[in-house]
Amino acid sequence: MEHLSSVKRRKTKKINLGYVQIGGNAPVVVQSMTNTDTRDVKATIAQIKALEKAGCEIVRVALPDKKAVDALPQIKERIKIPLIADIHFDYRLAIDAIKKGVAGIRINPGNIAKDKICQIIKVAREHETVIRIGVNSGSLQKDLLRKYGGATAGALVESALRNIELFENQGFEKIKLSLKSSDVPTMIEAYRAISARTDYPLHLGVTEAGSLVNAAIKSALGIGTLLYEGIGDTIRVSVTGSPVQEIPVAYGILRALNIRKIGPDIVSCPTCGRCEIDVLDLTAKIEKALAREKGYLKIALMGCVVNGPGEAADADIGIAGGKKQGIIFKKGKAFKKIKEQDFVKVLLEEINLMIKERKKN
Amino acid sequence: MEHLSSVKRRKTKKINLGYVQIGGNAPVVVQSMTNTDTRDVKATIAQIKALEKAGCEIVRVALPDKKAVDALPQIKERIKIPLIADIHFDYRLAIDAIKKGVAGIRINPGNIAKDKICQIIKVAREHETVIRIGVNSGSLQKDLLRKYGGATAGALVESALRNIELFENQGFEKIKLSLKSSDVPTMIEAYRAISARTDYPLHLGVTEAGSLVNAAIKSALGIGTLLYEGIGDTIRVSVTGSPVQEIPVAYGILRALNIRKIGPDIVSCPTCGRCEIDVLDLTAKIEKALAREKGYLKIALMGCVVNGPGEAADADIGIAGGKKQGIIFKKGKAFKKIKEQDFVKVLLEEINLMIKERKKN
């Protein structure tokens, strides 16, 4: 029920990241990254728990130094979702993290030398740890920047291909790839190109996408365009702000493309000079009440008779407003006429009932 | 300078809506719609002025009755951008609005009969008024809903094609088309299909897209996917809330796809356990200070040395943070090392200087 794709997804190799399957026929997995100081175990666990509650399925933490590595076992023990360690520059931190039992590590080929990566691979093989080759427009190898005249899609792809070859030469295939850019068209082109060349699972993201609304725009454009083409096995929306905000945006993208239907889809009109009820207030209240709801339901909140009855009837539950009153529709049929002051109460009662029924089935 | 497209746009017929050109080689035009009571002239003018200030280029008002029509001349007189009247059900309101001198009208083929549309066309021809054939998933003709089993892309396309034929039979070609759906994949498929069949300019929108963040997601997905394919001549982001919020989202989509570069592009990192400066606070302050800025500039606000120097150097101006300090980069070169308490002040000084210089050129 949850995973109804309208999109024909490209087939990729399957890898297991802890208990989470990525690639193959698995649903597109939603991940995030903490922005606490990893050495602050309490704060990091609290943020991961908030992420889990919001629906995050994999979490990554930065490992700037040895103290952060030492915090990993305590963090891992207290959380449910698989833990990934994010490492730059120092290959020894990567090896230590693997030994501490993380499900996966992310390394950046732009800042770890080939021979050091080979040492990481050796330990990862022993521990069956997944490695993400995380190419990023902000940290490409200098020779590639020179060759391509900047962090172009071509440069990102060549960086990834070089590393794939390195990993394959070591007989290591538990890898996923990311080719993130802060420029949306560059990111789209890079993923399209790498997707045509390899079948390793792909982690999609627009890097450094900015604060909430801008991040939602750039991520929907970049991640969404690719997902709609069937490309992408796991995603991260990157928001300057609390990472917990990233999760509803990620599910919003998946829901709007009918890739994963988690959480209510609220269709609400922008209102206009024709509107006779307070749709803005109604939408804000319904959204707030359902902010933590994971059950899917299409809810239409409409202000007038132009599109109101059509949209309300097309939704699982909807209301079409008129003069200080409205008609509730349930599964396409007019159900009840109610006064405006009862909108929130009656709608929430009916919505909760429908969600409960769905969960039973 | 402003209109640098990385996208090969599909060629469409050119129409003039007041002084604004739509289609042909014109830039993608940003429009919105008031949600005031159109009969409240003062409130409607105030909202349109706020929309103009935000960068809105065409505005639409709802005309539910004759009193709203009578308000049109007073509204038109006080605003700068072309005015469009939105009419449903009553063809006489459309005819009256045309006579009052609006630049364009939008009619809904789902709720005005053929013979009445012919009467509207006759008057529009005399006044050289543009007509948008505005098909909407919430108000399709009943026979089409029956034929297609719902508001599918096929049903939207057939509704549009029927009307195009009607208009062409009357020798009227000053038309633009919209085929909006609240369902993103349906909307994408409908516009792709109509775009392959006609070359009238297309107005893109995901209808009833919800409150700000959800509207940003759905609109970026629907409008953005099409724009990136070269489809679309004018757009509206539909937000449940103040329509003024729609404008930065619209320009955010255009900017991220390199279609129109208006307003600053802020690249800022999500921060992580590696971050040593307060990127969240910095981003919020820079965004707020530049909220009304129309000049384009790529600004990178980065928290650490991993992607910081790369992104900062790639931007027009950027900062790469370190321990309570940062290096400002200008046009790819390290420019100044400053303390964290001076970030906002120094960055804004330099940004304003750069924007001023650009405007001179």
Nearest-Cα residue of chain A relative to residue B304: A64
Q: Is the pLDDT of residue B3 over 60?
A: no
- CA dist A230 and A95 (Å) reads 34
Q: Which two tokens stand for residue A173?
A: 């295939």
Q: Are residues B146 and B240 in the same domain?
A: yes
Question: Quick check: is A7 in a domain?
Answer: no
Å from B59 to nearest chain A CA? 12
A208: nearest CB among B34, B220, B302: B302
Query: Scanning the structure block, which residue is given the tokens 């079409």?
Result: A320
* Position B69 confidence tier, pLDDT thresholds 50, 70, 90: very high
What's the pLDDT tens digit per position in A234-291? 999 999 999 999 999 999 999 999 999 999 999 999 999 999 899 999 999 999 999 9
Question: Quick check: is A118 in a domain?
Answer: yes
Contact A237, A269 (CB under 8 A): no
pLDDT score at B25? 87
Q: Are residues A103 and A195 in the same domain?
A: yes
Q: Identify which of B302, B321, B318, B212 has the alpha carbon closest to the alpha carbon of residue A207.
A: B302
Question: Quick check: is B163 in a domain?
Answer: yes
User: How are strands ordered across the β-sheet holding B298-302?
Assistant: B265-268, B298-302, B317-321, B325-330, B333-339
Q: Are residues B216 and B291 in the same domain?
A: no
What's the pLDDT tens digit per position in B215-231? 999 999 999 999 999 99
pLDDT score at A5? 53
Q: What is the CATH number of the domain that holds A207?
A: 3.20.20.20
Nearest-Cα residue of chain A relative to residue B225: A225
Question: What residues of B are in contact with residue A225 (Cβ under 8 Å)?
Answer: 224-225, 228
Question: What residues of B are in contact with residue A252 (Cβ under 8 Å)?
Answer: 213-214, 217-218
Question: Domain limits at B91?
Answer: 15-256
Q: Is the ipTM of this complex over 0.90?
A: yes
Which of B31, B221, B223, B298 is the best residue to mutate to test the A interface, defined by the most A CB atoms within 10 Å of its own CB?
B221
Q: Do A240 and B283 touch (CB under 8 A)?
A: yes
Contact A185, B6 (CB under 8 A): yes
- Average pLDDT, stretch B336-344? 94
Question: Quick check: is A134 in a domain?
Answer: yes
The chain-wide mean pLDDT, for chain B, equals 94
Question: What residues of A are in contact with residue B252 (Cβ under 8 Å)?
Answer: 213-214, 217-218
Sort strands B234-235 and B203-204 into parallel, antiparallel or unpaired.
parallel
pLDDT score at A54? 96
Q: Are residues A201 and A335 in the same domain?
A: no
Question: Quick check: is B7 in a domain?
Answer: no
Q: Are residues B161 and B283 in the same domain?
A: no
Q: Is the pLDDT of residue B144 over 50?
A: yes
- The residue type at A339: K
Question: Quick check: is B225 in a domain?
Answer: yes
Question: Quick check: is B1 in a domain?
Answer: no
Distances (CA, A) of A278 to A145, A310, A318: 54, 19, 15
Q: Are residues A336 and A242 in the same domain?
A: no
Q: What is the CATH number of the domain that holds A294?
A: 3.30.413.10
Å from A356 to nearest chain B CA? 24
Q: Which two tokens stand for residue A310?
A: 């059509």
Stated as kind and residue range, the H or E segment containing B134 is strand B130-136
pLDDT profile of chain A (361 residues), mean per 10: 64 96 96 97 98 98 96 98 96 97 94 95 97 94 94 97 96 97 97 98 96 97 98 97 97 97 94 91 95 93 90 92 91 92 95 89 72
Q: Identify which of B33, B50, B47, B48 has the alpha carbon closest to the alpha carbon of residue B136.
A: B33
A101 C-beta neighbours (distance < 10 Å), count: 14
Q: Do A310 and B151 touch (CB under 8 A)?
A: yes
What's the pLDDT tens digit per position in B20-58? 999 998 999 999 999 999 999 999 999 999 999 999 999
Q: Are residues B128 and B150 in the same domain?
A: yes
Q: Are residues B252 and B270 in the same domain?
A: no
Q: Do A139 and B182 touch (CB under 8 A)?
A: no
Show which of B256, B279, B306 is a domain's final residue: B256
Q: Are residues B88 and B45 in the same domain?
A: yes
Nearest-Cα residue of chain B relative to residue A228: B185
Q: Are residues B115 and B158 in the same domain?
A: yes
B266: nearest CB among A210, A216, A257: A210
CA dihedral B292, B295, B301, B305 (to 10 degrees): 180
Nearest-Cα residue of chain B relative to residue A69: B273
Question: What residues of B are in contact with residue A276 (Cβ under 8 Å)?
Answer: none
Show which of A225, A256, A287 is a domain's final residue: A256
Q: Are residues A286 and A252 in the same domain?
A: no
Q: How many domains does chain A have?
A: 2
Nearest-Cα residue of chain B relative to residue A227: B221
Q: Kindly provide the b/e burial profile for residues A102-133, where b requires at least 16 CB atoms within 10 angstroms of the residue's own CB.
A: bbbbbbbbbbbeeebbeebbebbeeeebbbbb
* Position B4 confidence tier, pLDDT thresholds 50, 70, 90: very low
Contact A202, A227 (CB under 8 A): no
Show which of B221, B256, B291 is a domain's final residue: B256
Å from B296 to nearest chain A CA? 15
Nearest-Cα residue of chain B relative to residue A310: B138
Q: What is the percent of chain B with per-residue pLDDT over 70, rounded to a whole number?
A: 98
Q: Helix or strand or coil: residue A327?
A: strand
A240: nearest CB among B151, B221, B269: B269
Q: Hey, CA dihedral for B252, B255, B260, B265, is it positive or negative?
A: positive
Q: Are residues B235 and B314 in the same domain?
A: no
